Amino acid sequence: MAKKSGDLTTATSKAEVDAFLDTVARAPALKPAGRRGRLMFAMDATASRQVSWDRAIHLQAEMFEATKALGGLDIQLVHYRGFREFEASRWVDNADSLVERMAAVSCRGGQTQIGRVLRHALKEGKREPFDALVFVGDCFEEDIDAVCEVAGRLGLLGVPVFVFHEGGEPIAARAFREIARLTKGAYCSFDASSARQLKDLLAAVAVYAAGGRRALEDFGRKRGGDVLRITTQMR
């Protein structure tokens, strides 16, 4: 099992961002016509994550803002912390409601519960379909085979997992890449200095969930930077 790393200096490489965006661009359209996009937003809220959690409170508004013209987006916040604490919010359709829920959470020491996140996603997806799961975390402390078994079932359900990995810890990276592969999602690492990049990539996944590939292509032309490379790869 991986130990948490305090080293957040690993920069996201251009090649890795390209690979992430290429996977998103090549995936099938997620959103059926006539239905609002639905995105599950899961975060590690264990003790090492407090700074990142506070930053994410500000970043999440971008996901709603980017999808307004597409009919909007519903988001469910999922987090774990402490000794087996796990919580999933109701689905919300605006940034203020999500901020209120995130601001009420303080990070607490404990081990990861990524398998529990995936099991919850599997149960939720069977109850009512949703378009994608975004997970933000920095380490992995579980049985990788057991977690991958659930990831495989989530992939069969058609729910891609987009993993944003802070810090690049190698054991976590291996597990996160497998989760992304098994669900036909994508993996990308980032560091504490790349908040702007994370904001753009989160917004890109939200746009894709809300409007599909064409909406993502339009968003790339407007936003430029890393997101613009989606358009180039799709061509």
Q: Rounded to whole angstroms, how far apart are CA atoms 227 and 45? A: 27
DSSP 3-state of 49: helix
What are the residue ranges spanned by the domains of the chain? 37-234
What pLDDT band is residue 222 in, cutting at 50, 70 and 90? confident
What's the token pair of residue 31?
Answer: 């959103």
What's the token pair of residue 205?
Answer: 């996944």
Nearest to 66 by CA among 199, 167, 175, 197: 199
Span 190-209, mean pLDDT? 75
Separation in Å, CA 212 to CA 107, 143, 209: 34, 34, 6
Residue with more model confidence, 229 or 59: 59
73: pLDDT strictly greater than 50: yes
Span 168-196, mean pLDDT? 85
Q: Which CATH architecture has domain 37-234?
A: 3-Layer(aba) Sandwich (3.40)
Span 135-152, mean pLDDT? 95
pLDDT of residue 84: 92
Nearest to 131 by CA among 216, 35, 30, 44: 30
173: pLDDT strictly greater than 90: yes
φ and ψ of 117, to 5 deg? -60, -45
pLDDT of residue 27: 58
What's the token pair of residue 68?
Answer: 């307004």
DSSP 3-state of 89: coil
Span 19-32, mean pLDDT? 60
What's the token pair of residue 225?
Answer: 């930077």
Tens digits of per-residue pLDDT, 122-143?
A: 999 999 999 889 999 989 999 9
pLDDT of residue 231: 39
Mean residue pLDDT of the chain comes to 79
Question: Taking a C-beta distance cutoff of 8 angstroms, is the pair 168, 140 a contact?
Answer: no
Model confidence, pTM: 0.79
Q: Rounded to whole angstroms, how far apart are CA atoms 223 and 4? A: 34
Residue listed under structure tokens 């917004």: 203
Half-sphere exposure of 149 (CA within 13 A, CB side): 4
In percent, the amount of the chain with pLDDT more than 90 equals 31
Span 224-229, mean pLDDT? 57
Strands 186-190 and 161-166 turn out to be parallel
Half-sphere exposure of 16 (CA within 13 A, CB side): 17
Question: Taking a C-beta distance cutoff of 8 angstroms, is the pair 53, 45 a contact?
Answer: yes
pLDDT of residue 2: 44
pLDDT of residue 18: 66
What pLDDT band is residue 185 in, cutting at 50, 70 and 90? confident
Burial class (CB in 10 A: 0-12, 13-18, 19+), 59: middle
pLDDT of residue 127: 94
For 63, other C-beta atoms within 10 Å of its C-beta total: 25
